[in-house]
Amino acid sequence: MPVIISLTNPSTSIARLVLPVVFIILAAVCGIAQDDRSEAGDLVHYGDLIDLDVAGGFEFDWRGRLNPEGFLDGLNTYGEPVYGLCRSEKEIAADVVKVYRRLLRDPVVTIKIIDRSNRAAATLDGAIRSPQRFQMRRPARLLELIVMSGGITDDAGGDIQIVRPSNLSCEPRESKWQTGAFKTASGVSGNGTLVEVITISDLLSGKQEANQVIRSGDVVLVKRSTPIYVIGGVNIPRNIAARSGMTLTRAIASAGGISKEADAQNVVLYRKEGSDARILEFDLTKITGGSVADPELKAYDIVEVGQKGRGKRRYPPVVTGVQFAPPNGLPLRIVD
């Protein structure tokens, strides 16, 4: 029997909460995510602990990690280093056999990855309720990680940026990123780092290409809206999202409205234009009365509602934006 999910006139906040969960459930039921466990999970990454066993003795056994160049670090191959980065256990074993044949008759070599816990963590930061790092024991899709992190916050902008450093994720050889399927949105830096920008609307509408597979070392940033700052005689001084159509009265209302000590006839707008700063003064009572137009605000505007008994500022106020947490300072969660 088919499962029918009905949402009757959902609000924006409810939709943001419910839709990601719905898509995750549908993906699990329909088997969409079955292909996510790609060959990248079985390839050797930086930080993996590798065990090399030669049948019949211990003299040629080895255990270690890759060096910065991607070769098996410290393995005695008599002048022929064995490359291991982003290669399978069988591929590496075959190369070791070629080297050891000079010393042994028909060597049997087994390569195993015995510890994957030191791989580069994926990071989810920005307009997320619980920014965190993920130790990727398996590939996971973007929506899944967002749901794990509590969802997107109200100050999110329209874009999500995914940065994939070179060689940290061992992305499958025939990936959409590498074949140029996302050519119009993706960028490639000089060091091979891949950059993909998707929209939140595409992600929440269920577009498969927006719900990217996130791998080890990826940095995902849910971009915040550029802010407008509302300070002074308001009930909740705060920064709000600079969206289209945001006017002076709407911004003040978003900050809880004017407070008891507010001087509604003394509202100052500080606006930076290039290297110059403009100072505009408004009487809120005239705007609400309809005799003066309600000005539309721009990103990084500072609105200060005057307060009774306080004089005007001689200089524009200094406000600070949101600071993102350093990646290593975020909590770590295991995805297995």
DSSP annotation string for 124-182: EEESBSS-EEEEESS-EEHHHHHHHTT-B-TTEEEEEEEEE-TTTS---TT-HHHHTTT
Sequence letter at residue 78: Y
Report which DSSP code applies to 212. Answer: P
Residues of the chain with CATH 3.10.560.10: 12-38+119-224, 227-307
Considering the entire predicted model, what is its pTM?
0.66
pLDDT of residue 322: 55
Torsion, Cα of 38, 41, 42, 43 (10° steps): 110
Per-residue pLDDT of the chain (336 residues; tens, 9 = 90+): 444 333 334 444 444 444 444 444 444 433 344 444 444 558 899 999 999 999 988 889 999 999 999 999 999 877 789 999 999 999 999 999 999 998 888 999 999 999 988 999 999 999 999 999 999 888 899 999 999 999 999 888 889 999 998 778 787 644 554 434 443 344 444 456 889 999 999 999 999 999 999 988 999 999 988 889 999 999 999 988 888 889 999 999 999 999 999 999 999 999 988 778 889 999 999 999 999 999 999 988 999 999 998 887 877 787 765 556 677 788 999 998
CA torsion sign for 40, 46, 48, 53 is: positive
Tokens 């992305």 identify what position? 171
Q: Does the domain formed by 12-38+119-224 have CATH 3.10.560.10? A: yes
The CATH class of the 46-115 domain is: alpha beta
pLDDT of residue 172: 61
In order of 229, 258, 267, 282, the CA distances from 308 in angstroms are 20, 12, 12, 16
Residues of the chain with CATH 3.30.1950.10: 46-115
Report which DSSP code applies to 234. Answer: B
List the one residue out of 146, 105, 112, 103 whose CA is nearest residue 126. Answer: 146
List the one residue out of 198, 200, 135, 192 whose CA is nearest residue 164. Answer: 192
The CATH class of the 227-307 domain is: alpha beta
pLDDT of residue 323: 57
* Structure tokens, 85: 């980065």
Query: Residue 234 in contact with residue 212, Cβ under 8 Å?
Result: no
* Structure tokens, 313: 């500022």
CA distance 106 to 108: 6
Q: Go through the chain and tell me how many residues it has.
A: 336
SS3 call for 49:
strand
In order of 9, 14, 22, 314, the CA distances from 6 in angstroms are 10, 13, 11, 56
